[in-house]
Every structure is written in C-alpha cells, then in structure tokens.
Amino acid sequence: MEENTEANPVSAQEAGGGTAPAPKQKDDMRKRLITGIVYVTVLAAFFLLKIFVWMPYTTASGEQVALRIGNLCFDVLIGVFVGIGTWEMLRAFSAHLHRSQKVIVMTFSLLVLAAYALSDFYFADILAIRLPEPVAGSEVGAAAIGRNYSLHITFVVFMAGIALLFALLVIQHENVSLESTGYALLSYLYPSFFLLVLSVCNHLEKYSELAVLFVFVICPFADSLALVFGKAFGKKLPAKMAPHVSPKKTIIGGFGGLLGGAIGAVIIFFACYGLTKLDGMGLITPLHWSLSLNTLDIIFYIALGILTAAFSQFGDLVESAVKRKLGIKDMGTILPGHGGILDRIDSSLYAGLIVCLAMVARIMIVG
C-alpha cells in the first residue's frame, strides 16, 4: 500500500482536512478509485481462475486427482508482480547498477518463481506426491510416497543467480563494485522472494485458497480502518507509529488497522464456509479442507487476521523506509493514483510471510 512520507504529504491515516479538496485532489481521488476497482477486479478474476480451472487426472499409480491448473493461472499474476516490482527496484537503483547486473536480477527473479511454480505443480499435481495421511487406529501416520523436490530446484536456481552476480566482480571487474553488487542483491531479494512466499501459499496442499484470501483481503481492510481511525482520532491521539519513517502514521491508526484485520477475517471465515459447501456439492475444485462453524476455527481466523494486519502495516513501513532512503515519493507510475506495483502490494509482501507460516503450522498440527 502506498505509504506517504514528507515527500508524499497525504497520509493513509490522516488524509483530508477541514477544507474542500482542490480540483487536482479530486482528480487524484478519482484516479485512485478507478485504479483500485480495476486492481480488485483483476485479483478477483485470477482468484476465480484458481478455484474453477482444474481437470481430472489419473496418475501413474491409477489414483484419480484434480489437476489444479488454476494455481498456475494465479502464479502468472504473481509473476507479473515480480516482473514489474523488480523493474521498479532496478529503476530506483539504476544509477548504481551496471546493465549486466540488471539483466541477471530480472532474469533470475522470474526464473526462481517459474522454477518453484512449475516444479511444485509437477511433483504435487502430476506425480501426486502428498503429505502422509494418518492411519486409523495408529499413532504413526502413513509414510509419504516419493518426495517433492520443488524447493530444492528453486534453491539451486536462486543460488545460480547469486553466483552470477558475484561472478560479475571478475567478468565486469572495471564496471562492477561491491556497492553495486549490494544494490543488485537487494533488488534480487525484494520483492521477488517475498512474492515467492505468496506462490508457496498458492501451492499449499490444503488451505491455499484461504491463504490467498487472507493476504489480499486483510491488507485493504487493515488499510481502510487505519484511514478511518487516523482521520477520526489522529488529532486527539497524535502519538506516532514510526516518526522517522512515516511521520503521519499514528498508533491509533495502527490500532484501527488491527481491528480491520479482525473484521476482514470474520468475513473470510463465512466466505470460506460457503466455499466448503460448494465443494461438497461438487461445484468447484476439491479444496482438500473443510470448515465448520466452531469456536476454535473462528478464533484462529480472527487471531490470524490481526497478525496479518500487523505484518501488513510493517510491510508498509518497510516500503516507506526504502523510499525515504532513496528520496522518492513513489516506486513507479503504472497505477494512477497509487504509484507503482510496489506501492500497491508492499503490505501484502510481509502479510504473506505470517499467513504462510500459520497455514503450514495448521497443516502440520491439525491436518
């Protein structure tokens, strides 16, 4: 989400004032609204593709499975985020980077995502390698058949990119410095490897639909309630969240963001409850999980909603810190009224970390 520093004076929590907005402000608000609607529509379209695009498939062992083609469709959207986000980082550091470094960073940022998405699809869907299922009457679960090597392949591709960046210190010794290598490594890691975690969420054997919803629904809910609380109570409770990074973000606005996360989580809970009912009727791809109206599930959703909101706000601050260090207002201009892709998805980058961790923990503990 776009974070405003001194170079960007309209705060996400304390926008507006007592006077009517000037024509330019009205035009900016209109652009921001239209861009936001288009962005949400695109996200919704790819999420629907994730759910509905699948096909029956018979594995070599004769097992009937649902080939989740929709996961790859959503990976395409993540790939767009990786490509544009990495380009925005490379442009921001352009003065410090050699052309060869830019080529390697862009190429391997996309290759790492492709390596994970395609290899996990091969091992988990085509070869049908699954987590071991518990055996009735036994305290020990059944042994897994085969092994998913997608993370191994991804790590090797990632290290190949690192190796090439360091190799440039020899190959382009006169043009590449340790400082430029540091900038290249930062551009390589951020945002592509945060978005790789989002792809991991997308490929989870269970709860992948839920994980994606948490990342892309909780963040705007948190931002919206932060805005409301900042405008309503910011003047009476002006304590700042991070005064040196984002002087206009208040603690009370941050509290509103946590409340927004809880509200968004409750909405997601009932939306997912509806999805399990559709799955039971065979109207959508098998979700590999079920949801019932019980207290523990609701508590889990609300707790994760609050944590996701907290991480999303921290991700917002990280992006603000980067822009403040660079002395720029926005990372790009591709989204009118919002800035660049990184200005739009910054909160989602950190939100994906806690969501992925929570869902993996739930799979290991609950199943």
Q: Does the global pTM surpass 0.75? A: yes
On whether the CB atoms of residues 2 and 344 are closer than 8 A, the answer is yes
The position carrying tokens 């009118």 is: 336
DSSP SS3 for 64: strand
Tell me the DSSP string of 319-335. Answer: HHHHHHHHT-S-S-SSB
pLDDT of residue 349: 95
Question: Is cis: bond before 191, omega within 30 of 0?
Answer: yes
Of 208, 359, 213, nearest in space to 287 by CA: 208
List pLDDT tens digits, range 180-212. Answer: 999 999 999 999 999 999 999 999 988 898 999
For the chain, the C-alpha Rg in angstroms (whole number) is: 22
229-232: which pairs have CB atoms within 8 A and are 24 or more residues apart? 229/13, 229/253, 229/255, 229/256, 229/257, 229/259, 230/11, 230/12, 230/13, 230/14, 230/15, 230/256, 231/13, 231/14, 231/15, 231/16
Question: How confident is the model at residue 286, as a pLDDT?
Answer: 59
Helix axes 251-280, 208-233, angle to 10 degrees: 150
Task: Sort 115 into a burial class: Cβ within 10 Å, 0-12 / 13-18 / 19+.
Answer: buried
In angstroms, the CA 290 to CA 300 distance is 14
So where are the chain's domains?
A: 23-365
User: Each residue of 50-70: pLDDT tens digit?
Assistant: 988 888 887 776 777 778 899
d(C-alpha 24, C-alpha 20), whole Å: 11
Q: What is the pLDDT of residues 288-330, one digit of tens each?
A: 656 666 778 889 999 999 999 999 999 999 999 999 998 888 8
**Residue keyed to tokens 């992925």:** 356
* Token pair 């309503």 in the structure block, residue: 232
State pLDDT tens for residues 2-38: 444 444 444 444 444 444 456 777 777 888 889 889 9
CA distance 134 to 141: 4
Interval 230-259: pLDDT, tens: 888 888 888 888 888 988 889 999 999 999
Report the percentage of the chain scoring pLDDT > 70: 83
Tell me: the pLDDT tens digits for 133-177? 655 555 555 555 678 899 999 999 999 999 999 999 999 999 999
- Does position 118 have pLDDT exceeding 50, yes or no? yes
